[in-house]
Amino acid sequence: MSKLDGVFDDQGRVFRPPRRWLLREFLSIVTPHGPPVAPVRVDPARGETVLVVPPFLTADILMAPFRGALASCGHRVEGWGLGPNYGPTPRILAGLRRKLAAMADRRGGPVTLIGVSLGGLLARDVAHERPDHVRQVITIASPFRLPTATNIAPLFHLVAHRYAEGFDFRRVGRPLPMPSLAIYSREDGIVSWESCVSDEPLGENAEVRGKHMVICQYPEVIRVVSARLAAPPV
C-alpha cells in the first residue's frame, strides 16, 4: 500500500489544471504580479504571532519577502526553521510541533498558522494535533480536500518513502476546531483549486487571482492575509 493512497484523484472526478498551464506558472516567475494594494496594518502591540509553513520543496529563505510584508504590517512572523518542505517526514512533523509549542509558550497563548500549498496540509495537521496552540489557520493554495489533482504528483511519489508511517492525510481535510481561512485561485496551474476551498463550520474562503508558484508575491494575497490578521479574534 502506498503512503499516498487516497491523496490523488485517478478517476478524473476532480478538476485537473491543464498541463499547458504549467508554462504560465514558470512565466509567472518573471512577470509582474499585479498593481500595489495597501495591506492592513496594526499597532505592533496588538499584532499577531505568526508561523509560516513553506510550500513543497521550499525553505524559509524563499518565503522571506512574504514574512517581511506581514512583519511590516505589525505582526511577529517566523519561519519554521526546518529546511526544505519535503512533506510529513518524522523529522518535519516533530520539528513543526516543537516550533509551534515554543512560539505559543513565548506568546503566552495560541498563534496563527499560515501554510502555503503543501505547507497548508502540515499546518492543518498540527492544528488538529495541538489545537490549544493554534488561534487560527490560513491556507494559501493548499489542496487539503482530498483526493486532489495536480500536475506534479510524480514529485510527491519520489519523496513519499520519507514520510512518517501512519501519517493520516485524511485528517487534514477534517473540520478544524478553530477558525480558518482558505485562499485559492482559479488560475492555479499546479493543483486543483476546488481542493483548496473550505466548507467546514468555522472556515471561510477568499478567492484571489494569481499563479501557484508565486502566489505569496501577489499584493492582493498579502492584503487578504493582513486583513485577516488584523481582524478581532473570533
| Average pLDDT of the chain, as a whole number | 94
Q: Identify which of 38, 29, 70, 37 has the alpha carbon closest to the alpha carbon of residue 52.
A: 70
Non-local (6+) Cβ contacts of 132 within 8 A are 104, 110
Average pLDDT of the segment spanning 29-58: 92
pLDDT of residue 35: 79
pLDDT of residue 79: 98
The DSSP string of 115-154 is EETHHHHHHHHHHHH-GGGEEEEEEES---SSSB-BTTHH
Locate the domains of the chain by residue range. 47-228
Residue 164 near residue 206 (C-beta atoms within 8 A): no
Rounded to 5 degrees, φ, ψ at 30 are: -115, 15
pLDDT of residue 37: 87
Residue 213 has pLDDT above 90, yes or no: yes
Non-local (6+) Cβ contacts of 17 within 8 A are 149, 150, 151, 188, 189, 190, 191, 192
pTM recorded for the entire structure:
0.96
Average pLDDT of the segment spanning 203-221: 96
The pLDDT-based confidence of 121 (bands split at 50, 70, 90) is very high
Average pLDDT of the segment spanning 211-226: 96
pLDDT of residue 1: 54
Q: Which 3 state secondary structure label does DSSP give 231?
A: coil
- Assign domain 47-228 to its CATH superfamily: Alpha/Beta hydrolase fold, catalytic domain (3.40.50.1820)
pLDDT of residue 109: 93
Residue 7 has pLDDT above 70, yes or no: yes
Average pLDDT of the segment spanning 164-171: 92
Distance of alpha carbon 63 from alpha carbon 120, whole angstroms: 14
What count of Cα atoms within 13 Å lies in the side-chain half-sphere of residue 128?
Answer: 16
Residue 234 has pLDDT above 80, yes or no: no
Distance of alpha carbon 152 from alpha carbon 17, whole angstroms: 11
